[in-house]
């Protein structure tokens, strides 16, 4: 078969880079262009771009591979009973705290299904990366994806009782100017925190005594009494319930972010995915309803 994506050496997401690619790959591409009688790539010393013919050929190859995958799923019985591998991605901390326990229960009920869980805070591309389901936190862009909302997450400010007893409890966002803050670069800018929404949104400058790149580090520093920190509610849930942290400025919190189960929703859903959605959605809703 002359479609380059029929070989595992090729991936449909991109062509080889202009420099450093194996000579065999360039030879195969040249042979393919010669066979087709057209150029698929515009080449320069700095970059490669698809020609119009290349874009059409790439789209056709993807359609062929999708049809082959569909035929394999049908042959494997994925549309008749829950079976096969299910690929799921979720944010790191949320996935460990909430998604993994649900998956553990699901695997006990469906012994013919295997799950590959990837915990990552980057936004993955479901179709291109062959992911069946993603757990997303935040507002979703308009797309052809199907989303099932299972709850919401607050953005909270918290500090240890000892810190608040020594420095006082801020009653409104401008009070933060007189406090020590621990900033988490994954959620907000180090110099400012935002509160409210729309016309009621307020941005205040904060004094960052410590800047970290993980929520766990920010929470640990807050528990140690270093200052106030702003994190997602599920990240601090255990510490708040244990009394190690207290939430402040609740009336000024921005609107909660939705938590959604997102899948491509193209054509008929494999039974394994439908079974997981039916199993996971109510359990995640219950878990999130019981959290901050």
Residues 261 and 285 in one domain: yes
d(CA 127, CA 292): 33
| 212 within 8 A of 183, measured Cβ to Cβ | yes
* pLDDT for residue 71: 63
The dihedral through the CA atoms of 243, 245, 251, 256 has a sign that is: negative
User: What domain count does the chain have?
Assistant: 3
Residues 70 and 125 placed together within one structural domain of the fold: no
CATH number of the CATH domain containing 8: 1.10.10.10
Same domain, 162 and 49: no
Same domain, residue pair 269 and 148: yes
Task: State the DSSP H helix or E strand holding residue 150, giving kind and residue range, or none if neither.
Answer: strand 146-153
Domain boundary among 45, 76, 107: 76
User: Same domain, yes or no, for 51 and 97?
Assistant: no
Please tell me the predicted confidence (pLDDT) of residue 32: 80
Same domain, 19 and 91: no
Whether residues 123 and 165 fall in one domain: no
Q: Which structural domain, as residue segments, surrounds residue 233?
A: 155-252
pLDDT per residue rounded down to tens, the chain (292 residues): 344 444 444 444 444 445 555 667 767 878 887 887 888 777 776 777 888 877 877 777 776 776 666 566 656 655 557 999 999 999 999 999 999 999 999 999 999 999 999 999 888 888 888 899 999 999 888 677 899 999 999 999 999 999 999 999 999 999 999 999 999 876 666 789 999 988 889 999 999 999 998 999 999 999 999 999 999 999 999 999 999 999 999 999 999 999 999 998 766 788 999 999 999 999 999 999 988 8
* CATH number of the domain that residue 99 is part of: 3.40.190.10
């Amino acid at each position: 078969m002359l479609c380059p994506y029929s070989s595992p050496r090729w991936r449909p997401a991109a062509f080889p880079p202009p420099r450093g690619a194996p000579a065999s790959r360039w030879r195969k591409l040249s042979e393919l262009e010669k066979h087709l009688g057209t150029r698929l790539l515009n080449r320069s010393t700095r970059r490669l771009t698809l020609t119009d013919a290349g874009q059409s050929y790439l789209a056709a190859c993807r359609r062929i591979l999708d049809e082959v995958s569909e035929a394999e799923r049908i042959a494997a019985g994925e549309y008749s009973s829950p079976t096969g591998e299910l690929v799921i991605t979720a944010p790191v901390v949320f996935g460990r705290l909430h998604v993994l326990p649900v998956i553990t229960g699901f695997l006990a009920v469906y012994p013919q299904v295997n799950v590959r869980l990837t915990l990552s805070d980057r936004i993955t591309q479901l179709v291109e990366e062959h992911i069946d389901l993603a757990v997303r936190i935040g507002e979703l862009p308009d797309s052809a994806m199907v989303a099932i909302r299972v709850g919401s997450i607050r953005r909270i400010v918290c500090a240890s009782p000892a810190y608040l007893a020594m420095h006082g409890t801020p009653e409104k966002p401008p009070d933060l100017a007189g406090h020590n803050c621990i900033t988490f670069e994954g959620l907000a800018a180090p110099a400012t925190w935002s509160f409210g929404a729309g016309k009621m949104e307020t941005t205040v400058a904060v004094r960052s005594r410590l800047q970290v790149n993980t929520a766990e580090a920010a929470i640990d520093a807050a528990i140690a009494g270093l200052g106030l920190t702003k994190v997602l509610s599920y990240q601090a849930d255990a510490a708040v319930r244990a009394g190690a942290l207290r939430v402040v400025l609740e009336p000024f919190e921005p609107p909660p972010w939705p938590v959604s189960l997102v899948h491509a929703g193209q054509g008929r859903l494999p039974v394994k995915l439908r079974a997981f959605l039916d199993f996971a959605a109510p359990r995640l809703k219950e878990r999130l309803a019981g959290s901050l």
